[in-house]
Every structure is written in structure tokens, then in C-alpha cells.
Amino acid sequence: MKKIIFLHQSWTGFEKRDWKILKNNFCAQDLRLYTDTLLKIPQGIRAIKKADAVFCWFASRLSLIPLVFAKIFKKKIILVVGGWDCANVPEINYGALRRGIKFFPTKVITEYIISLADRIIAVSGYNKKEIIENCKISSDRIHLIYHGIPFCPCEKNYKKENSVLTVGNITENNLKRKGLATFIKAATMLPETKFFMVGKVDARVEKYLQDSVPKNVIITGFVDDEALCQFYSKAKVYVQVSYHEQFGCALAEAMAHGCVPVVTDTSALPEVVGEAGYYVPYGDAEKTAAAIATALTDGQKGAMAQERITKLFPFDKREKALVELIEHT
């Protein structure tokens, strides 16, 4: 059985799911970059030396040291480049590959990390296109493996409520990138409807939230997986009016629970939603509110959304593809 080191930055849903795949199919050990890489460098290096391969989420500067040692020890590197690391979106101040003197060091480090990889994984067609264009990587080096969304059994225990949900950390950047500011403005136009914002709140946006959030918007802060599953199960509509997304895991999770999606026609979101939701222009609060109002009365697209996720993005499909890729690396 292959020995795999799993390098990751947090325990977000998609990282947890990939860790489950690795530990169920290989002799796997996790190394969390924010803590272990900084505090336990010698132990981490020894673990990499004994491993057959390293599976890493994101081409982050935090992964530089362990991946350099993996290369020195001639270990195979499988790298998921699925977010900030391959983006160049200066209009919303986002991406490791932005151009200019200010961003040059980050750009160089990110490109070098990506060059170390034996296998590069993209999580959507849009993501793959961005890697090719921004990282100058040939298409044949990139493996498109969509996220896998597991079935959550709790959904059968709840009835849908006339409520609207969005999930994501509430930060200054996400007010623009994930359209959270538009979500809040749309909520003011539908005062009789409950809106939920689920995610950790950055202290730097607390003043903005105090001044801007209407009474019908409930900000929950961070919730655990069980509570998040309940929010998905109860909400009728899920909103993801982002400027830029490499996939949209929270969107797909909500759709798997039968939420009707209201999204922007940007980046990877149409790949996830298809014809199972409503599209609005980025930053247009009025059209977003109108689409939400329509979605709240829709009796069909919730089932369409659930069927689409079950068919196109099942967890076992990603598991099979990752295991096969690692076995043949």
C-alpha cells in the first residue's frame, strides 16, 4: 500500500473529503501547513522521506519547504491547484498570479511550486483553463477531477422553509469576490424573507455589517458540519453571486440538499448549476432580489439541482479518479 503525505492548510469540507479518500485507500498521514510545517519541520521532512508521494492542496508558499524536500527525496507530487493560487483577478484584488512589482515574489514562488508537481489537478473546466492561461502549463499536464459531494442523510428530517442562504467566510475580499455585499443589498428589498449568512466573520468587516445588514439577515458565524447540513436542508434558495469561483463547493452542497440556486454567470458557476438555477448579473442587487423571489416560488428546480449534483459530482466519482491517478503516478 502506498504511503501518502497529505499537505493541507485547513479542514474545510473539500480538504476533509480528500483526506477521507486518502486514508481509506492508502497509508496516509496528514501534515497541516499552518502548524506542522512551521513547528515540526524535522518530523515533517522525515515523514516525507519515508512516503511514496505527497498530495498537496494549493500551491501556497507554506507548501514550498515540504515540496522542495519531496523533490529532493524524489517523491511524486500531486498538487491540487484550485483557488487563489492560479488566479489573476486584479479588479477584485485577488489571486497569487497578479502582475506587478508588489505581487512579483508571490507569483514567482507560486509558479515554482506548481513546476515541482508531477501531477496537477484542476477542479473544474474553468479552473483548468485558468491554470493553462495564468500558469503557462500545457493541458496534458492537468487532470480535471471535479469535487465530489457526498449525500447528507439529515436532509430528509427537515422541511424546506421560505428562507435564503449563503455560506462563506465574511471578509472584506469576499464582500466583492463572493458577492456578499450584493446578497445583503438584495435582502433589504425582500424584508419579509429570512436571509442567513453562515461563515466566520472577520473583525475588519464588523463595522460594515453593523451599518449595512437589515433585520431580516441573520449572521450565524462559523458553524460545524452538522449545523451546516441543517441550514442546507431547511433553506429553499441558495445564493452564490460571486465574481470569481473555481468550483463552488458550498453551492454544490446546497444543491445536493435541494436548494434552488441563484448565481452569477461567471467563472465555474455555470458548470455546477447548468439549467437547474437562476442567473443574475454580477453586482446587480435588484435582479438578484427578483431572481430570489422567483426561486422561492419554484417547485421544480430544487429537485433538478439535487439530481444534477448526484449525477455529475458524486463523492465516489472523485474518489475513484483520485485513487487511480495516485496509483499510476
3-state secondary structure of 309: helix
3-state secondary structure of 277: coil
C-alpha cell at 271: 458548470
C-alpha cell at 279: 442567473
Query: Which DSSP state fits 203?
Result: G
The pLDDT assigned to 116 comes to: 96
The pLDDT assigned to 44 comes to: 82
Sites in the chain below the pLDDT cut of 50: none
Q: Is domain 153-312 classified as CATH 3.40.50.2000?
A: yes
3-state secondary structure of 178: coil
**Cα 30 to Cα 14: distance, rounded to the nearest angstrom:** 14
Angle at 245 between CA 242 and CA 250, to 5 degrees: 85
The pLDDT assigned to 312 comes to: 97
**Cα 241 to Cα 187: distance, rounded to the nearest angstrom:** 13
* Start-end of CATH 3.40.50.2000 domains in the chain: 3-148+314-327, 153-312
DSSP tally for the chain: helices H, then strands E: 15, 12
C-alpha cell at 54: 505527497
Q: What are the residues whose beta carbons fall under 8 Å from the beta carbon of 225, sequence distance 6 or more?
A: 13
C-alpha cell at 127: 479552473
Query: Which DSSP state fits 16?
Result: H
The pLDDT assigned to 155 comes to: 54
Range list of H helices, 33-82:
36-39, 41-50, 64-72
Select the CATH number that applies to the domain covering 3-148+314-327 from these four: 3.60.15.10, 3.90.1150.10, 3.30.1280.10, 3.40.50.2000.
Answer: 3.40.50.2000
Pairing of strands 142-144, 163-167: unpaired
- Report how far apart the first and last C-alpha atoms of the chain are (Å, whole number): 14
The rounded radius of gyration (Å) of the Cα atoms in the chain is 20
Amino acid at 262: V
Q: pTM of this prediction?
A: 0.94
Sheet containing strand 53-57, edge to edge, reads 27-32, 3-8, 53-57, 76-80, 119-122, 142-144
Query: Which DSSP state fits 76?
Result: E
